[in-house]
Amino acid sequence: MNKTDVFELLEQHKNEKGITHWNKMSNTGGLTSFGLGLTTQRKLAKQIGRNRELAQILWQTDCYDAKVLGLLIDEPKLITKAQAEQQVQELHGGMLTHVFSSCDATLAKSPVAFDVAIEWLNSDDVVRQSCAYGLVYEFSKKKSKQYTDDFFENVLDTIESSYNKASKKVLLAMGGALLGIGKRSVNLNQRALKIARLIGPIDFNEEGQSCDPLNVEKHLIAPALQKKLGI
């Protein structure tokens, strides 16, 4: 499959309602969109399959959906720190930021993800910080010698000491990290819950949006999770 084939697929699946919504948003970074949701984008990515060359071509387009597909079909083992740094620089803080670091995209599956996350957690750049917390959320769902309780405790320390100075975008990413960390164990749940209560519901709406705030506390005290953790 090539670039032309991908754009034919996107045209076939375009969503007029989604396009209208996209055009009302202020943080699109000047990109166009076929109005697709992540579920459809993932379906198309699975249909296309892993293709590093095509991923890089799609990333260079000015279409949001094509760029997302590029992130989803890239080959994790071949992603380098240089690539991660180049792409994060090209996000410009727009809608791609969340997908780039989370949403089952390939960066979190790459061998450089952990080192990149550590560096970006300590960055002064808002986009890199947001992506770091997105990666932490992805790490929280996995088992690895790197993803220790001490690592997640350190992330919680960072969130607790800096959330009151964080931008809206970083705060939302912190909320996602809290959600993931708080599902790993009883101790991490209680610690994450304490911080979530300090932060409160996180309003992440941009102009033209009316989504409910992210209530991390509500998720961390959900009966199903509490039962799973044995609380």
Rounded Cα distance, 65 and 14, in Å: 10
pLDDT in tens, 29-56: 889 999 999 999 999 999 999 999 999 9
Note the pLDDT tens digit of each residue in 2-18. 999 999 999 999 999 99
pLDDT band of residue 210 (cuts 50, 70, 90) is low
Task: Give the pLDDT score at 177.
Answer: 97
How does pLDDT run across 109-154, given as a tens digit for each residue?
Answer: 999 999 999 999 999 999 999 999 999 999 999 988 899 999 999 9
**pLDDT-derived band of residue 209, with 50, 70 and 90 as boundaries?**
low
CA pair distance 130, 120, nearest whole angstrom? 8
Compute the average pLDDT of residues 65-79: 96
Residues linked to residue 32 through DSSP beta bridges, in sequence order: 63
Distance CA(100)–CA(137), nearest Å, equals: 12
Diameter of the chain measured on Cα atoms: 53
Please tell me the pTM assigned to this model.
0.91
Instruction: Say if CB 225 and CB 183 are below 8 A apart.
Output: yes
- Average pLDDT of 47-74? 96
Q: Is-contact 120 107, C-beta < 8 A?
A: no
The CA-based angle 6-9-10, given to 5 degrees, is 90
CA distances from 118 to 13, 123, 163, 213 (A): 38, 9, 17, 27
Collapsed DSSP state (helix, strand, coil) of residue 214: strand
Residue 74 reports pLDDT greater than 80: yes
Q: Kindly give, in sequence order, each residue whose CB lies less than 8 Å from that of residue 27, ignoring residues fewer than 6 positions away.
A: 93, 94, 95, 206
Give the domain ranges of the chain.
Answer: 1-74, 94-231
Helix, strand, coil shares of the chain as percentages rounded to 5? 65, 0, 30
